[in-house]
Chain A
Amino acid sequence: MTSLTTAPAETLIDSSTKFQPERQINQIFRWLTIALAVCVGLVLLWITYSLLLIALPAIRTFGLGFLTNSTWNPVEEIYGVFPQIYGTILSSFLALLFAVPLGVGVAVFLTENFLPPKILTPIAFIMELLAAIPSVVYGLWGIFVFLPAIRPILQGINRAFGWIPFFSTTPGGRHLFGASLVLAIMILPTIVAISRDTMSSLPPQLRQGSYGLGATRWETITRVLVPAGLSGIIGSVMLALGRALGETMALAMLVGNANNANISWFSPASTIASLIANQFGEASGLQKSSLFYGALILMVLTLLVNILAQMVVSRFQQVE
Chain B
Amino acid sequence: MNPSTRPNSASDTLENNDIVIRTENVSIFYGAFQAVRNVFLDVPKNNVVALIGPSGCGKSTLLRCYNRLNDLIPGARVEGKIAYQGVDLYDPKIDPVEVRRRIGMVFQKANPFPKSIYENVAFGARINGFKGNMDELVERSLRGSALWDEVKDKLKESGLSLSGGQQQRLCIARTIAIEPEVILMDEPCSALDPISTLRVEDLMHELKKQFTIIIVTHNMQQASRVADMTAFFNAEATEGGSRFGYLVEYDKTYNIFNAPKQQATQDYVSGRFG
**Residues of chain A whose beta carbon lies under 8 Å from any beta carbon of chain B:** 203, 205-216, 219, 223-224, 227-228, 319
Contact = CB atoms under 8 A, between A and B. Distances in A.
B100 interface: yes
- Interface size class on chain B is 20 to 34
A319 B113 CA distance: 12
Interface in B134-171: 160, 171
B123 interface: yes
A208 B107 CA distance: 9
A311 B171 CA distance: 31
Interface of B: 67, 69, 72, 97-102, 104-105, 107, 109, 111-115, 123-124, 126-128, 160, 171, 174-175, 178
B116 to A, nearest CB: 11
A205 to B, nearest CB: 4
Given A203-B111, A206-B111, A319-B160, 8 more contacts: A208-B69, A208-B107, A208-B111, A213-B174, A214-B98, A214-B101, A223-B123, A223-B126
Contact of B97 (A203, A209, A214, A224): A214
A228 B69 contact: no
Contacts, number: 71
A112 to B, nearest CB: 11
13 contacts: A205-B111, A206-B113, A208-B69, A209-B174, A211-B72, A211-B100, A212-B67, A212-B100, A214-B100, A214-B178, A216-B97, A223-B127, A227-B115
With most chain A CB atoms within 10 A of its CB, the pick from B98, B114, B115, B174 is B114
Contacts of A207: 72
A213 B175 contact: yes
Contacts of A319: 114, 160
B100 A228 contact: no
A197 B109 CA distance: 23
With most chain A CB atoms within 10 A of its CB, the pick from B72, B112, B178 is B72
A219 to B, nearest CB: 5
A214 B126 CA distance: 11
Contacts of A227: 113-115
Name the 7 nearest CB pairs between A and B, nearest first.
Answer: A214-B101, A205-B111, A212-B105, A213-B124, A214-B100, A209-B111, A228-B114
